[in-house]
Amino acid sequence: MTVLRCQCGALELTITSQSYDDSSAFEAYKCQCCGRTGTLVHEATTGTTLSGCLR
């Protein structure tokens, strides 16, 4: 299991939206410490991609 955190180092992330089906998932996050946002996208064929403030 991977732990998501913000670039500021905080672990306090809130999911602001999400969607998924049999082969993909999307989640948008907001950091409760600094307010930055990021997304996690998972595709069955290409894997997981993080963007924005997520690491």
Mean pLDDT, range 16-29, rounded to an integer: 97
pLDDT value of residue 1: 63
Give the pTM. Answer: 0.89
**What distance in Å separates the CA atoms of residue 24 and residue 3, rounded to the nearest whole number?**
19
The residue assigned the tokens 């403030």 is: 53
Considering only CA atoms, which of 23, 36, 20, 21 is closest in space to residue 4?
36
Q: Would you say residue 14 has pLDDT above 80? A: yes
Q: What is the mean pLDDT of the chain?
A: 95
pLDDT value of residue 2: 76
> At 29, which helix (H) or strand (E)?
strand 24-31
Q: Would you say residue 31 has pLDDT above 80? A: yes
